[in-house]
Amino acid sequence: MSESVLRVENFSVDYGVGERAVRAVTDVTFSLGRSEVLGIAGESGSGKSTLVYGLTRLLRAPGVIRSGKAILRVGEDSARRDIDLLEASERDLRSLRWRHVSVVLQSALSALDPVRRIGKEFDEVLRYHGQGKSRAERRSRAEELVTMVGLKTDRLDRFPHELSGGQRQRVMIALALALNPDLVIMDEPTTALDVVTQREIIDELRELRERLGFAMIFITHDLSLLVELADQIMVMYAGRVVERADSADLYSIPRHPYTVGLMNSFPPLTGEIVPMTGIPGSPPSLSALPRGCAFAPRCPLASDRCLNETPPLLVEESRSLACFNSSSSVRERLVISS
Amino acid sequence: MSTAPLLEARGLSKIFSVKPQGRAFARRRPFRAVDDVSVSLGAGRVTAVVGESGSGKSVLARMLARTVEPSEGELFVEGAKIDPRERRDLAYTAAVQLVLQDPFASINPVHPIRHVLERPLKIHGNEPSLVPGLAKELLERVALTPGESYLDRFPHELSGGQLQRVSIARALSVRPKVLLADEPISMLDVSVRLGVLNLLRDLCDNEQLAVLYITHDIASARYIADDVLVMYAGQVVESANGTTVVDRPRHPYTQLLVSSVPDPGQGDRPRMQAPSATAFPEVGCRFAPRCPLANEQCRAEVPTLVEVEPSHHVRCWRVEEASVLLTSRDSQKGGGETT
């Protein structure tokens, strides 16, 4: 891998403090290369959103960052410096945000100010970060940006409620790219959109990344979408990373039983219709996690050891995996058992 | 089918009166949210209605459940005509039940599951001494076993998947013939969705219910349904048995929909491009502004639903030309403006 934009080490987040604290993200470590797309897959409660809120310091109380480092590398060549996002002051964060890291959230309607025209949002971001001396200059940059995401420039004069869901999400993406950031984080940006619009936005994102070279963290529960978009995929369950691999590898040979289960949860669009089962049981509550592997109660391969010990994440070059049944025959055995 | 369908709708329409957006003093105009939809639900069959948000699929379900009064059209329960403008009676409620998308919103959070299930059992005239036993049985029919362990729990103590099963159990409590499920899995965790879908399929097979499955996810419709209808802007644009709609889509919109679904197993499929959704026109085909094949006729006249092969209906003037859209890779490059 080339040099990394973001290195995250042993990152943990709690909700609440003291005895009743609930660990939502446990010991997450990963690194993200320049222009790379990391996909994070997991169900609700898996900690995927908490992870990025924590990393970008957008986490609100009762969320508390318990440990870890998140080193962001900014600037080119001689001006290059490393910043620990978790140590940065509010003031530093303000200049980092938009310029180096930007975030696109699931609901663009709640991210945009309802009583402001779209153009004003662009103007503010550009002005704060010293882009464009005059209003006219900033306006022309804003026009450039919305055109880039396939919107007409007159959308800048509209209010958020006058745009469709897909258009609003495009506005968010254009804003996120306004200052050419090194890293763009997308938290379920297409989940609320219909599938045709989702397809358009995904195709656009791929093209924009090709052209502008930003790295991206893309969060979704839809594993098949990630396989198309991401270079690497990280699967989370109950706050932990359970598997990480190149997306093509993960798709062709999923090793963790949870990953296999997730893949069996989406009926395919082609081929014979075969009965599929999804995963038995329900995702655990973080406040009452089982002893041992959190997935064990739902896992067809769980042994006594799984019920008592938490499997560590074994990091190898091409794959990280947190499972005691790590032999490559897992998939075959699961297919037979289901 | 020789016997009459359990529930049949003919020419169902809903006209809402809306103000044009952003013009506070403009006059209200009629808006056809559902336009001339006919659907017939047979015993032991799952019928899927696929459409994006705003396609009118939920309004259709609510008209079938008679919680929204249709503006036009007729309803038939086992062949007997019902006047949908009359007040809904208990017999209709008992015959047709609606399961909603979000179980946390559709089940009263202040009562235990026991109350949620016993209330409809009592209202629908079951012997009071039998009611607790029936409630437990209902839970076991939706695979919440042992039933007793769930009866005294409150909704917030269950997961989304479990609670959606409770809401299906509640619908079953009145021994319905028809189950209408409006996006029953889209709010659930991905790993439990198939479980709920399989449950609906089993109920349909084992108890000869007629199930209407409303969804935006065409792959899940293909997985569960015997018949699939695709809706666009309030109209049925394509319908057929089994997997035909997904495997051999004929309407340009269905083709766009199918080619947009992420499906990494397919590698680089030919992908159809079309301009994004706009407000649909008042004359002509509603898909015409996005359709790469639209011509003068499409912009002037509303196409009718025609049978292109046995039990496969398509609403398109250019259905002959449309069959080749997906097969010719190079024909649709460039797309259009995105507004």
B167-199 pLDDT, tens digit each: 999 999 999 999 999 999 988 888 889 999 999
CB contact under 8 A, B271 and A195: no
The token duo for B275 is: 């301009």
Q: State mean pLDDT over B147-173.
A: 93
CB contact under 8 A, A270 and B190: no
Closest partner residue to A269 (CB to CB) among B53, B258, B339 is B258
The token duo for A205 is: 């994102």
Any chain B CB within 8 A of the CB of A224? yes
Beta bridge partners of residue B46, listed in sequence order: B211
**A306 vs A291: CA distance, rounded Å:** 9
What one-character DSSP code corresponds to residue B317?
T
Using a CB-CB distance cutoff of 8 angstroms, which residues of chain A are in contact with residue B217?
195
What is the number of CB-based contacts under 8 A between chain A and chain B? 122
Among A217, A165, A159, residue whose Cα is nearest residue A190:
A165
The token duo for B10 is: 């003919």
Any chain B CB within 8 A of the CB of A154? no
Q: What is the pLDDT of residue A1?
A: 45
Rg (CA), chain B: 21
Q: Is the pLDDT score of B258 beyond 80? A: yes
What one-character DSSP code corresponds to residue B279?
P
CB contact under 8 A, A273 and B222: yes
Using a CB-CB distance cutoff of 8 angstroms, which residues of chain A are in contact with residue B254?
none
**B97 vs B100: CA distance, rounded Å:** 10
DSSP labels for A44-92?
A: TTSSHHHHHHHHTT-PPTTEEEEEEEEEEEESSGGG-EEEETTT--HHH
Q: What is the pLDDT of residue B334?
A: 38
Beta bridge partners of residue A220, listed in sequence order: A41
- Longest Cα pair distance anywhere in chain B, in angstroms? 69
**A305 vs B196: CA distance, rounded Å:** 31
Quick one: closest CA in A to B267, which residue? A228
Element holding A125 (H helix, E strand)? helix A118-128
Using a CB-CB distance cutoff of 8 angstroms, which residues of chain A are in contact with residue B161?
282
The share of chain B scoring above pLDDT 90, in percent, equals: 69
Name the strands in the sheet holding B29-41, side by side, starting at the edge strand that comes first in the sequence. Answer: B29-41, B7-18, B72-77, B80-82
Closest partner residue to A278 (CB to CB) among B193, B271, B277 is B193
Using a CB-CB distance cutoff of 8 angstroms, which residues of chain B are in contact with residue A236?
none
> Alpha carbon of B65 to those of B68, B70, B91: distances in Å?
8, 11, 12
* Angle at the Cα of A220 from the Cα atoms of A214 and A224, rounded to 5 degrees: 95
The token duo for B214 is: 């409303």
Is this complex's ipTM strictly greater than 0.90? no
CB contact under 8 A, A198 and B264: no
Q: Residues A102, A181: contact at Cβ < 8 Å?
A: yes
Q: Is the pLDDT score of B335 beyond 60? A: no
Q: What is the pLDDT of residue B267?
A: 58
What one-character DSSP code corresponds to residue A20?
G
**A239 vs A51: CA distance, rounded Å:** 9
CB contact under 8 A, B219 and A277: no
Q: Which one of A146, A196, A229 makes the best mutation probe of the B interface by having the most chain B beta carbons within 10 Å?
A: A196
Q: Residues A93, A108: contact at Cβ < 8 Å?
A: no
pLDDT confidence tier of residue B307, bands split at 50, 70 and 90: very high
Any chain A CB within 8 A of the CB of B266? yes
Chain B 12-31, residues with CB within 8 Å of chain A CB atoms = 21-22
**DSSP helix/strand/coil, B203:** helix
Q: Residues B293, B287: contact at Cβ < 8 Å?
A: no
**B34 vs B40: CA distance, rounded Å:** 16
Among B200, B250, B196, residue whose Cα is nearest residue B226:
B200
Q: What is the pLDDT of residue B328?
A: 41
The span from the first CA to the last CA of chain A, in angstroms, equals 37
The phi-psi region of residue A232 (left if phi > 0; otherwise alpha if psi is between -120 and 50; otherwise beta) is: beta
What one-character DSSP code corresponds to residue B278?
-
**A47 vs A59: CA distance, rounded Å:** 12
pLDDT confidence tier of residue B336, bands split at 50, 70 and 90: very low
Residue A155, CB half-sphere, CA atoms under 13 Å: how many?
28
The token duo for B102 is: 């979000």
Q: What is the pLDDT of residue A235?
A: 96
Any chain A CB within 8 A of the CB of B167? no
Q: Which one of A147, A194, A338 makes the best mutation probe of the B interface by having the most chain B beta carbons within 10 Å?
A: A194
Q: Is the pLDDT score of B333 beyond 80? A: no
Q: What is the pLDDT of residue A334?
A: 58
Domains by residue range for chain B, with CATH: 7-20+28-247 (3.40.50.300), 250-339 (no CATH)
The token duo for A323 is: 């499972």
Q: State mean pLDDT over B227-242.
A: 94
Q: What is the pLDDT of residue B187?
A: 86
Any chain A CB within 8 A of the CB of B200? no
* Angle at the Cα of B186 from the Cα atoms of B181 and B190, rounded to 5 degrees: 125
Tens of pLDDT, residue by residue, chain A (338 residues): 457 899 999 999 999 888 888 999 999 999 999 899 999 998 888 899 899 999 999 888 889 999 999 999 987 777 788 899 999 999 999 889 999 999 998 777 788 999 999 999 999 999 998 888 899 999 999 999 999 888 899 999 999 988 888 889 999 999 999 999 999 999 988 887 888 888 888 998 999 999 999 999 999 988 889 998 999 999 999 999 999 999 999 998 899 999 999 988 989 888 888 888 889 888 888 888 888 999 999 998 888 999 999 999 998 888 999 999 866 555 555 554 44
CB contact under 8 A, B277 and A164: yes
**A291 vs B224: CA distance, rounded Å:** 36
Q: Residue ranges of the alpha helices (H) in chain A? A: 48-55, 90-96, 108-111, 118-128, 135-148, 165-176, 195-212, 223-229, 247-252, 257-263, 304-308, 330-337
The token duo for A157 is: 């004069």
**A114 vs B174: CA distance, rounded Å:** 45
Chain A 87-116, residues with CB within 8 Å of chain B CB atoms = none
Question: What is the tens place of the pLDDT at every residue in B316-330?
Answer: 999 888 876 655 433
Place of tokens 């909700």: A15
Any chain B CB within 8 A of the CB of A209? no
Q: Which one of B187, B191, B255 makes the best mutation probe of the A interface by having the most chain A beta carbons within 10 Å?
A: B191
CB contact under 8 A, B192 and A197: no
For helices B252-260 and A195-212, angle between their N-to-C axes, nearest 10 degrees: 50
**A133 vs A23: CA distance, rounded Å:** 46
Q: Residues A27, A12: contact at Cβ < 8 Å?
A: yes
Any chain A CB within 8 A of the CB of B53? yes
Closest partner residue to A267 (CB to CB) among B160, B223, B256 is B223
> Alpha carbon of B317 to those of B177, B180, B299: distances in Å?
37, 32, 10
The token duo for B316 is: 């398109």
What one-character DSSP code corresponds to residue A102?
E
The token duo for A241 is: 């990373």
Question: What is the tens place of the pLDDT at every residue in A201-221?
Answer: 899 899 999 999 999 999 998
Q: What is the pLDDT of residue A192?
A: 79
The token duo for A90 is: 């509010």
The token duo for A25 is: 């993200």
DSSP labels for A164-186?
A: -HHHHHHHHHHHHTTT--SEEEE
Using a CB-CB distance cutoff of 8 angstroms, which residues of chain A are in contact with residue B162?
282
